[in-house]
Every structure is written in structure tokens, then in C-alpha cells.
A and B are shown apart, each in its own frame.
Chain A
Amino acid sequence: MEPRLIANRQEFSWKGFVLQWEWLLVVLILAVFVMNASLSEFFLDYDNLRDATMGFLDKAFIVLPMVFIILMGDIDISVASIVALSSVVMADLYSKGLPMAWAMVVCLAVGTVCGWINGMLIVRFKELSSVIVTLATMIIYRGIAYIILEDQAAGKFPKWFKFLGWEYVGSIPFILIAFAVFALGFGLLLHKTGFGRKLYAIGNNATASRFSGVEVDRIKVIAFTLAGLMSAVTALFLTSRMGSSRPNIATGYELEVIAMVVLGGVSTAGGKGRMIGAILAVFLIGYLRYGLGLVNISAQSLLIVLGLLLIFAVAVPQLKWKRRRTG
């Protein structure tokens, strides 16, 4: 049979370039900047813009692995509890005399183990969805945090620990640098490695991935473990920002994180979306909140704005798609 020639170079398409989801986010961020700048004289101020990132980046570390998990069509609602548990363990051990550096290592280890347990339960019990498993572990992990610290707060960390959440390297907040490094790492992992490719494959078609030799279970466990680890990283920064720890910290973070991932264009139906989108969403929500905070908008109005933004952002591509299908 005569071989047919198949191109392996892609022509650059302006349409494809322009129609990327991320542009919508960029436009929205610009809009937020313009709006905020016109609302408050304090918004366009280098120090303020910089310090604002310190306020909203703590949970952004969880956004990175959550992108992986949602890409695969799963979800992890236990992350906030993992933050609480690993933070509480760290604070408790430190207050019992463990050197701070070791306490931080234990914090990361606790988060990793919690994530790993989630992952193992999910792949070992395929008949249970990740919603149920992480719903149960969400209660359990926070429950353990309560058992450990009871009604106490633990803290009085060494001075240098404050560095994580409050200090600058040069004039750039350390947390921003740390986030940039992690974001780059997770972005490369997702877009440049076989691991990332497999995540997409699983999200699009887990069965076909398995039949193609992709170690679906292993990858799921890794993704959930990463979510645990990054929750512990969040715990480090959040604990540093609060200067102490309690079992009830990070309440409600899971939904905020999921909202950011979804707003970033990552589809919970699995298999679609990019890291950059989620990162943009972090900044979009962060600066929107911050800007509205500068004009002291009420908490309830802020809730409504954020809810509508989420709906609007996911509805737009649906409408576009529908029109294309019918027209």
C-alpha cells in the first residue's frame, strides 16, 4: 500500500491562539485592575499590590495539585483538614520541644501521609468515589487535629519562622517567590513530562489509559499524595502568617481552592485545562477580593460577586459551544 504523507508540523492558527480560555481570565484580571484602581486610590500601589499577594497566596499552593486531581475527574475535599492537621502536629511537636526545623519536616510528612491515605483508599475502593472518601477523611483528619490540641492553641514559634509568611527577599515577598517556584514546577510537570501527559489521558479516558499501559492507580495515588504535601506547604505558610495553630484553621479552604481551579478553566468532567489558567484564577480572585476589600465592600456582597463570577466564567464557554453546535 502506498504510504500517505502526514504532516507533523502544525500551522500557527490565530483563531486557535485567540480563542484560548486563559485570555478571558487575562481580560477579567485587567478589568478587575481597572475597576479596583478607579474605586480605590490605594490599589495601584506597588507595596500594596505586593503585600496583597501575601494575603491570598497561602491556599494557592493547594490549587496546583488540585488541578491534577480535577483534571483526572476526581476531587479532594479533605485538603483544608490536612492543612489543619499538619499545622497542629507541627505546632504541638514544637511546643513539646522538637526543634522547629524537624517540626516542619514532620508537618510535610503528615500532609504527605494524609494525601497518600486518600489516594490509596480511592484506588483500592474503586466503587467509592473520591467525593465520599475525602468527605470521610475530611472529618477524620480535622477530628484528629482536635484530639491533639483540644481547645488549645500552640505557637510561640521562633522568630525566623515568621519569615515564611511575612518577609521579603529583596522587595519581593518570600511567599510569592515560593509560589512562583512551585507553580513553575507543577506547570512543567503537567505540560512537559510524561506524568502530566498521563494525567490528561486519565482525565479524558481512564479505561483507554489503562489499556495503553498507563499506571492509572499509581498516578492517582501520586496526585493525591501531592495534594497532601502541598496542603502541608500551605500549612507552613498559613501557620507562619498566624503565628500559632489551632484545629480549626483553614476552614472552608477546600471550596475556595476548587472554585479557583474551576475558574481557571480546568474541567471537573476531566481532561481539560491548563496550569496557567488556574494560576491566573488565583490572582483574579485574589485581586478582586483585595480590591473590593479596599473599598470595604460588605462580606455578603463579596460572596454574591464571587458566586456570580464563577457561574459566569463557566457558562461562557458553554454558550459558545452551544452556538457552534446549533449554528
Chain B
Amino acid sequence: MAETEYVLELKGITKIFPGVKALDDVYFKLRPGEIHALMGENGAGKSTFIKVITGVHRPDEGEMFLNGRKVDFRHPTDAQKAGIAAIYQHVTCYPDLSVTENIYMGHEKIASGTKRVLWKEMHEEAGRLLRELGASFSPKTQMGALSVAEQQIVEIAKALSVDAKIIIMDEPTAALTRSESEELYRIAERLRDQGKSIIFISHRFEDMYRLAGVVTVFRDSRYIGTWNVDEISNHDLIIAMVGREISQLFPKKEAQIGEEVLRTEGLGRTGYFADVAFSLRRGEILGLTGLVGAGRTEVCQAIFGIDRPDKGKIFVKGREVRIRSPREAMGLGIGYLPEDRQKQGLVLQWAIGRNITLSTLEKITAKGALQPRKELDIAKRLAEKVGVKAKSVFDLVSSLSGGNQQKVVFAKLLTADLDVLILDEPTKGVDVGAKSAIYDIIGDLACAGYGVILVSSEMPEIIGLCDRVAVMREGRITAMLNRDELTQEAILAASMDDAEQSRDQRRVRA
């Protein structure tokens, strides 16, 4: 019987969110002592699948077996008790509490008699876990004071702190430097050797090749297949994930490069970035890449007037400007598509139409009053232009899939008269079809004479779409690569330092 062979088995899992089928009849099997990679494009449903396993979401259909016994987790604690620990993709920390508490929240160590929380033991144990992970900050540090990468390490420590049989890691390396990743690999292998099973999600192929024995691929919420890593070629794996040849994904449109529209000189904001200088011309797509936390978002938001830079100059169409608010930036022709579309891009409880017109209410106002007719017409035209899948402009944005939500944010940008578009991770959490549609839109925008800054962590996207690429590391631009110099190696080399080790320590101290 299969009962002995698999520690975890899921059959026919379907999970429907309002408006989105996040998982559609998905299968999964996990052996003891195995590192199992789970791959797929953004929005394929990986994270949702993980949350089904850990009891955060309950599936609408399907069954789950643990060591051959059918289980039904109603609450995250059920999964914890069953020996499943998870590192979630989006850091779920308590910024006001200490690292130790973040690690142990929900499964604190308490004295058996008095129920007292055993601080000393927890601090010691947390310190040990952190040292093992190569971190040098104290477990008593407040979580909110840590960098994203450090917070990710805490998340890993949290999973390790539960004596779990199954450990799930959802993109744990996304925020880590190479040496930090190495540390993580070592730990994962040690856990595997102890007989634990690990489910590992990553977009980095190197992670998978370095660690995993088995890989399962999801695409468009569906189960595609499971292979032994050494039995499938890279090419086939990509086709499995994407569903077509990757070259089709980036149909680079050749746009007419025009005059300069935006230039920065020595731009800096204390503690976030420094000496940022670049220029952008009409029709050009300028890539901005680097590791998570490199400071790209900070630069974009400083230009857009969210935060004020304290050094340097910004020139728009040759004229030096001071930008104090997003409104002023938009007045100067700069638009920004934020990184977090749910928090920064959309009013989720609103309909599509209202969202689209929010940034240009003046245009639909006559004699002080809003013109509903005009508003709805504009909304309809733009929603159709970017290809939102919806019945009417009265559909609530929260009911849309991630990709469609992102298209609504694009439509918002198109309402205003802009020259420069700053797109911060425009394809994050967007499904494959929507992704190629977004690439299409970006190409069209460049052709239409916009200057585009594309912030992205996805190598193929950057390489496939950009005319030039600026690579950032720790708040500074470390390389400016032209189209003919664009290779994965060149970008990686610029985003990570050779003397990584020493810098890690420096950063941690700061």
C-alpha cells in the first residue's frame, strides 16, 4: 500500500476564491526524507496550495492524507500539531515583538507546572537557531528593526523551531544573498538527512538543481506533473511551467527612442539609497533590477514624491524639479505602478470603474460635479484597452484575479497625460496569460512614446524586455548594462558582491 511510502498525499484539491479558481484538481505526493521542489509561474497557486496543507485555507474539494490517514485541518494549529511547519511567502511577522517571540509565537515554550513562559530557554534556543542560520543579530532584537532578508531568516528559524516532520518553504531564498542561501541549503540538507521532508518553492532554478530530488509543476492553478530533477531537461521544465516556448513571452517591440524625459543626478535618501544617476528617454524601457531589498522601490517612490530624497537632483524634460507629492509627480507627467497592488494600487472594495478614474477625477468633473456618464465611458474604454476580463465596470476589483487587478492598475495609469511610467514589479503574482498581456501592454506603451522604468526581479523579464538595465545593490547602482551586454551572469554579478561575507556582517550590524 501507498500508506507507508508517502508522508503526505493530496488528491484532487480545488480551492476557489471569489472570482478566482486558485487551485483546480491538484495532486501531490511527498516521501519521507525528500526535498520536493514546487514550481510554477506567479499565480500558479503554489502559495495557496501550501496554505491548504497548513490549514490556513480549507479546500473546496479534495482529500489530504498524512501517513496514509485522512486528515482535515480546520485551523493552523491542527497542522502544527500534526508536525507541519511552514515559512510563508509574505513575511508574517509581528513587527513590535522580539525575534524570539516571532519564532515561538503560537508554540511558546512554557513550564509544565506554572505555565510560565520560559524566556531564557527560548532566547537560548532562538539564538542557537539563528547562529546555525549564520545570522548574527540577537534574538532579543525587535523584529521591525530587521531588514527583509533578516526577517526571512527569522521565518526560517521559526519553521525550524517546531520539531516538524514536514517543513514547507515558500520562496525562502527570494530575499537572501548567495552566502545566506548556501547556509539555507546546508540546513535543508541536514534536515533531510534527519529524515524530514521538505517542500521547497522557488523561482530560482539554481535552488532547485542544488537541492531538490523531485519537482512538481503547477500551471494556471492546475497540476502539470511530477518528475525526478535529473530526469527532466531545463527546456522541458520551462515548457511545463509556462506552457509554451519562452521566446514567445517577450515579443520585444522596437520603439522609436526619442529625447530625454527623466534624469537623476546623485539622488540619495539617507539610509535607503545613494548616488543614483540615470537617464530615461522616450520609447525606452529601462530595467531596474537587483535583489529584494536593494532599494529599487525606494528610488522609484522618491522620484514619484512618496518619500523625499535628501540629496541629488531630478530633471524632467531637461528642467530641474522638486517633487513633493505623487500629485505633483503626476502633474509633471510621471506615473507609478506600485509594487503592492492590493495595498498601494487599488481600492479593493470599489468597482473597476471608480478605481480607474481615481487618479484623474478632475477630468470627469464639470462645474464641480462628477459626470457619471463620462466617468463610465472612460472606464469602459480603458478597461477594454488593457483587456480586463470582467462583465461590467461595476464589478468589484476584489472579485478579479491578480492579473486582472494588475490590468486595472495599468488602466489607471493610462487616464493621466504621462510621459514617464515607473512600473514596480508589474507581473508579481500575475498568471501566465495576464503576464504576456502585460508585456504586450508595456511594449505598446514604449511604442506610444512613454519612457518606461521597469523594476523587476525576474531575470527573463528584464532580459527580454529592456533596452538598458540598471542593477542595484544595497542602495547603489552597481552596473548599467546595454542590451548587448545583458546576460543572467552579468546581472547576478552586479547584484551580488564577491566579498559578500564581509558585507553581510556589516549590514547585520547596522
Contact = CB atoms under 8 A, between A and B. Distances in A.
Given A7-B392, A194-B362, A205 B384 contact: no
Interface stretch (A90-98, A140-148, A211-219, A276-284): A211-219
Interface in B352-376: 352-354, 358-362, 364-365, 368-370, 376
A8 interface: yes
* Range, interface on chain A: 20 to 34
B437 interface: yes
Nearest to A210: B326
Interface residues of B, number: 49
A206 to B, nearest CB: 10
B348 A205 contact: yes
A200 B362 CA distance: 16
A6 B358 contact: no
Given A1-B440, A8-B376, A213 B391 contact: no
B347 interface: yes
Contacts of A211: 304, 306, 326, 336, 338, 344-345
B389 interface: yes
B343 interface: yes
Given A1-B437, A198-B361, A211-B338, A8 B345 contact: no
B350 interface: yes
Given A8-B392, A209-B358, A212-B412, A201 B347 contact: yes
Contacts of B437: 1
Nearest to B360: A213
A8 B416 CA distance: 20
B387 A212 contact: no
Nearest to B386: A1
Contact of B346 (A4, A6, A188, A208): A208
Given A4-B389, A6-B391, A213 B370 contact: no
A123 to B, nearest CB: 12
Given A1-B437, A7-B392, A205 B347 contact: yes
A207 interface: yes
A4 B377 CA distance: 14
A271 B345 CA distance: 16
Contacts of B389: 4
B402 to A, nearest CB: 16
A213 B330 contact: yes
Interface of A: 1, 3-10, 188, 192-194, 197-198, 200-201, 204-205, 207-215, 271
17 contacts: A4-B384, A6-B352, A6-B392, A7-B391, A8-B377, A192-B369, A193-B365, A194-B362, A194-B364, A197-B358, A197-B370, A204-B350, A205-B343, A205-B347, A207-B344, A211-B344, A213-B416
Closest 7 CB pairs of A and B: A194-B361, A7-B392, A8-B380, A8-B376, A212-B359, A213-B327, A204-B347
Given A6-B391, A192-B370, A193-B368, 4 more contacts: A8-B353, A197-B361, A200-B350, A271-B349
